[in-house]
Structure 1
Amino acid sequence: MIRRSRWVACAGPFLFPWGEAGSRRVYGLVASLAAAGYDVVVAGGGPEPLTTTALPGIDGPGSVSHIGLSEKPPPDAGPLASSIQTLLRWGQRTVRWLDAQPTRPSHVLVHGGQAQYMFHLQRWCRRNRVPLIVDVVDWFNGRHVRGGYLGPLHASMKLALHHYYPRCDGIIAISSYLENHYRRTDKPILRVPPTLDVKNLTVDARQTVDDSSPLRLVYAGNPHGNRKDLLGTVIEAVGHIQREGASVELRVYGPTLDDVRHLFDGRPLPDGVRCLGRLPQAQVAGALQEADFSVLVRRPERAADAGFSTKFCESLASGTPVIANLTSDMGRYLRPNLEGLVCRDHSLAEVTEAFRTAARLSGAQRSLMRQAARSQALESFDYRAYAEPLGSFFRNWD
């Protein structure tokens, strides 16, 4: 175990080795902290043993380790055992682990876990005079969680959002919306978008695209039954421009074929729509690079504006421009006809018009957009760019 006094415990019951969205968000933060000179132990919710994680390309003296604390109930746990763990004991194992360390961490960084988890960590940090910093990435929408708006999970999320997070010593916000919301707390706050190792991501070296090649679109993610990403609208728009004579292919990664058919109300899918199922995270960049554009269409509601799509950042990092309507802070990084194409809203008419524009682009124009997307990602989403800001932020409590 790390014994240096300048080490950060990064805790969260949903943090697992780096495949899932929440873990990918934390990957960027801890890589920045390691580059700033901090030793970080990521205490996740799974059963994984302590491992030292060699993050490629860290430019700094810090380190990153990962340990599983089994906060998350095992898959075979019954409803009663799962409820007791998540509603009553959430965070107790993390606190016991913190108590067992030979040297107290200089900071605790918490990601997720809702009210019960925050209750235990906040008490421990106050008792031990360790600053607690929370990473806030979402404004929870009851439609997207088990039990809906009236369920205990949504109530716990809201309690954390409005009661526990504002009472932390510092706040990292993923978006301007959340930054502005928590600004009224007068606590130190830093906005950090999703970050990743852009510099070391291998990108297709091709510089030209054939004018005669079909328009290749890609969607990768989970549309949550069309409640989050409007994949049904995207498919409808593909059908429209195909009937007008455009040559277009849409590859869908994530939902199953049956899921996609359900989004399309059981109607036959347009020609060229290929449902390829779930893709391992390590293969996502390659799938994105095979497309001319990734597509991200969302309703402009508070949950979309408060969060920030990791998929958007991964697409630009892969050198793949994006077709999207602007939610959250995307307008800071997606300039029309540079890093991609902007839909004025999320309607079928606007998405269809954007696809028409994309289909008319020459190969040279598509290539220039690929270069602009990659350049934007290197400047805005590489974790190295946030080593100094995060290091300075944490030094507020050194």
Structure 2
Amino acid sequence: MSEMAPFVREGRKIVLYVGGFILPDGTASAQRCLGVATLMRSLGFEVVMLGKLSPQPPSKGGTCQTVIQAFQCYDIRQPFWGKSYGSYVHSSHSLEDVLEHIGAHRVHSIIAYNYPARALAKLLRICRRHDIAPVAECTEWYGWEGLNPIRNLQRMTAAYWRAMVLAPKAGNIILTSRYLVKAYPAANVLVLPFVVNGSDPKWLTPARALGRTRVRFVYAGSPGAGLSKDKINYAVQAFACHKREGYDFALEIVGITEQQYLSARPQDRSLLRELASVITFHGRVSHTDALALLRSADFSVFFRDPNRVASVGFPTKYAEAVSCGVPTITNPTSDLPIFIQDGRNGLLARGHDEADIIHVLERALRMSPQDLQNMKSAVAADNPFHYERWQVQAARFMEACEAS
């Protein structure tokens, strides 16, 4: 589908992708958006990205434009020098300047990734003015996190306004799971969990050596305030139980240091001492290093509460593990049961409490080397997130896109 698709309106072949993602791999959202951009390019579109090129705003004379994976990219906080820009959370100036630069008459659609609600309202007006199709990409729902009530209420209110008020006005919506589909009966909706370029060498993982007896588990991610997001403390407690029973394994925790873990869970200090010979904390590492650790694993591990936050989103860590050919151990949330066939290409816990986690981890520890190799081969043989698998659905969605 690399040639010009028939649904690209004459002269309008650009998709402008906007959001707070940190390119190229500073956030999980950047990984997702680059995958979606690759998918859109495969349909015949030219994709221009307006995000963040670094965690901090560009310093005077620094980089505000670059090319990443052959996509022209601008920094949403300072796309051009010589002008002063307000925060993109409230202001549309950077968006309007990039539109003027690339030619608004050439833009087919603007995909707004989890865009701040006030800015999204302005984006919709800009799209109407220029006859551009707005696409609201809603992949998150915020729950209560931490101890700041004002911040929590602001985030939750903004998430509701974006997803339930502004997204229907856009009329074109990308979701990561089926959870909210029924909320948009009149909209043009694409459910797109995650997409990658499956042929990228970073996803290629060597086969497991059959002589290796120690089973390697990896958790890689941001565990959230109080370690609540991915239940990593439940997993640590379960692994401690299995170590007492004599099982041989290694647990790699990527994204948090031991001290950060203990700051959230000081009561687990004795557990970590008990696991000292089998557990390694790596702290925050580059995305490249995180993938290298993941590729060396037998299983990726995480567990989540089956609440609205988990149901609206789709775990990037699962899509990345599959793309590396690594089975995942988790519990049913979001659309994961569509992709995980328990016992064939991963393991699903019955629930998310400590007893369920102990049980599912024991299933993994009791697998023979050959059974484990068969499971890893099943994962490697079928990557449901390779972008070519989503071209038909995405083409249908883009064909139905209309200006608001």
Aligned partner of 1:53 in structure 2 is: 68
- CA–CA separation in structure 2 for the residues paired with 1:351 and 1:95: 50
Q: Would the alpha carbon gap of residues 340 and 150 (structure 1) be closer, same or farther in structure 2, given more than 3 Å must change?
A: closer
Asked if 2 retains the 8 angstrom alpha-carbon contact of 1:288 and 1:320, the reply is yes
Measure how far apart 1:311 and its partner are.
0.3
Measure how far apart 1:53 and its partner are.
2.7
Measure how far apart 1:356 and its partner are.
1.2
- CA–CA separation in structure 1 for the residues paired with 2:150 and 2:349: 30
| 1:1-59 Cα distance to aligned partner (Å, 9 max, x none) | xx96311111113353233111111111110010111000011144443323336xxxx
- CA–CA separation in structure 2 for the residues paired with 1:138 and 1:332: 19
Measure how far apart 1:147 and its partner are.
5.5
Aligned partner of 1:317 in structure 2 is: 323
| 1:162-214 Cα distance to aligned partner (Å, 9 max, x none) | 211111031111101022332x2x1111111111122224423325422x611
Asked if 2 retains the 8 angstrom alpha-carbon contact of 1:109 and 1:135, the reply is yes
Task: Name structure 1 gaps, 5 residues minimum.
Answer: 56-63, 73-80
Q: Would the alpha carbon gap of residues 92 and 316 (structure 1) be closer, same or farther in structure 2, given more than 3 Å must change?
A: same
Q: Would the alpha carbon gap of residues 168 and 99 (structure 1) be closer, same or farther in structure 2, given more than 3 Å must change?
A: same
Aligned partner of 1:209 in structure 2 is: 210
Aligned partner of 1:68 in structure 2 is: 75
Aligned partner of 2:396 in structure 1 is: 392
**Structure 2 residue 50 is the aligned partner of structure 1 residue 43:** yes
- CA–CA separation in structure 2 for the residues paired with 1:243 and 1:361: 18
- CA RMSD after TM alignment: 2.4
- CA–CA separation in structure 2 for the residues paired with 1:146 and 1:17: 31
* Aligned pairs for 1:30-179 within 5 A: 30-46=37-53, 47=58, 48-54=63-69, 64-70=71-77, 85=87, 88-89=90-91, 91-104=92-105, 105-143=107-145, 150-179=152-181
Q: Residue 145 of structure 2: SS of its match in structure 1? A: helix
| 1:368-391 Cα distance to aligned partner (Å, 9 max, x none) | 1111112232xx101122233212
- CA–CA separation in structure 2 for the residues paired with 1:397 and 1:194: 20
Letter in 1 for 2:188: P
Letter in 1 for 2:387: Y
Q: Residue 14 of structure 1: SS of its match in structure 2? A: strand
Quick check: 45-54 or 308-317, which moved more? Answer: 45-54
- CA–CA separation in structure 1 for the residues paired with 2:205 and 2:23: 29
Aligned partner of 2:339 in structure 1 is: 333
Aligned partner of 2:6 in structure 1 is: none
- CA–CA separation in structure 2 for the residues paired with 1:43 and 1:24: 14
- CA–CA separation in structure 2 for the residues paired with 1:394 and 1:112: 19
Quick check: 159-168 or 254-263, which moved more? Answer: 254-263
| 1:62-103 Cα distance to aligned partner (Å, 9 max, x none) | xx321113169xxxxxxxx99x736642x3321232234334
Aligned partner of 2:3 in structure 1 is: none
Q: Would the alpha carbon gap of residues 31 and 282 (structure 1) be closer, same or farther in structure 2, given more than 3 Å must change?
A: same
Task: Name structure 2 gaps, 5 residues minimum.
Answer: 1-9
- CA–CA separation in structure 2 for the residues paired with 1:87 and 1:205: 43
Asked if 2 retains the 8 angstrom alpha-carbon contact of 1:343 and 1:354, the reply is yes
Letter in 2 for 1:7: I
- CA–CA separation in structure 2 for the residues paired with 1:14 and 1:286: 22
Asked if 1 retains the 8 angstrom alpha-carbon contact of 2:349 and 2:360, the reply is yes
Measure how far apart 1:252 and its partner are.
0.2
- CA–CA separation in structure 2 for the residues paired with 1:390 and 1:85: 31
Q: Would the alpha carbon gap of residues 49 and 175 (structure 1) be closer, same or farther in structure 2, given more than 3 Å must change?
A: same
Measure how far apart 1:124 and its partner are.
0.2
1:24 counterpart (28, 31, 35): 31
- CA–CA separation in structure 2 for the residues paired with 1:289 and 1:100: 42
Q: Residue 176 of structure 1: SS of its match in structure 2? A: coil
Poorly superposed stretches of 4+, deviation over 6 Å: none
Asked if 2 retains the 8 angstrom alpha-carbon contact of 1:10 and 1:42, the reply is yes
Q: Would the alpha carbon gap of residues 371 and 351 (structure 1) be closer, same or farther in structure 2, given more than 3 Å must change?
A: same
Asked if 1 retains the 8 angstrom alpha-carbon contact of 2:24 and 2:68, the reply is no
- CA–CA separation in structure 2 for the residues paired with 1:33 and 1:144: 37
Question: Identity rate of aligned residues, in percent?
Answer: 23
Letter in 2 for 1:214: R
- CA–CA separation in structure 1 for the residues paired with 2:290 and 2:213: 22
Asked if 2 retains the 8 angstrom alpha-carbon contact of 1:146 and 1:153, the reply is no
Aligned partner of 1:12 in structure 2 is: 19
Q: Would the alpha carbon gap of residues 150 and 92 (structure 1) be closer, same or farther in structure 2, given more than 3 Å must change?
A: same
Letter in 2 for 1:361: M
- CA–CA separation in structure 1 for the residues paired with 2:78 and 2:351: 41
Report the count of equivalent residues: 373
Aligned partner of 1:197 in structure 2 is: 197
TM-score, length basis structure 2: 0.86
- CA–CA separation in structure 2 for the residues paired with 1:101 and 1:203: 36
Q: Residue 10 of structure 1: SS of its match in structure 2? A: strand
- CA–CA separation in structure 2 for the residues paired with 1:139 and 1:181: 14
